[in-house]
Amino acid sequence: MLCNVLVNTMSILNYTLIGRVGSAIFLCMVAIVQSFVSIRHERKETAVGGLEAVLFFVLYVGLGFYGLISSEGFTWAVTAHNLTELLPIIGALMLMLSVFAKGEQRTRAFILANAATWIVYNAIVGATSIFSNIASFISTSIALWKNRKNLQK
């Protein structure tokens, strides 16, 4: 989880440096908070409650859309820019689901979907964060493959 905090912090810096202030930055901030909450649960050996799941869902969607409508180039029409800015929201929701999923394989499947979404987004906007997403995608794919017998669990 601390690695997740570092990756999201570096992603915020990356998006800021390339001038891509939008939903991705806000969602990385929420992901950092969610990581600290997960660390707290791991240390206390407690489960994530339904209220927390709802709160993070609202934060991801709310701040994601706030970032979308406050980003440069936003219009209320369906545009390539707006569709691109939806990708971080989808990826963030996949991350949220991975943290709250039961079972390692389900968690990995959500992480794989998260990484794939961020790979597409970072390729479109030209962010170097794509390299960490590719590494995540590859390592998660390997873990899914090695543990494929447990997929039904």
Residues 6+ positions from 89 with CB-CB distance below 8 Å: 23, 27, 60, 61, 64, 65, 68
Confidence of residue 96 (pLDDT cuts 50, 70, 90): confident
Residue 74 confidence (pLDDT) above 70: no
The mean of the pLDDT values for the chain is: 83
The token duo for 96 is: 């949220």
Confidence (pLDDT) at 136: 82
Confidence (pLDDT) at 132: 82
Lowest mean pLDDT among 18-22, 108-112, 140-144, 148-152: 148-152
- Give the integer Cα–Cα distance in Å for 86 and 45: 34
Helix, strand, coil share of the chain (percent; to 5): 80, 0, 20
| Span 115-123, average pLDDT | 92
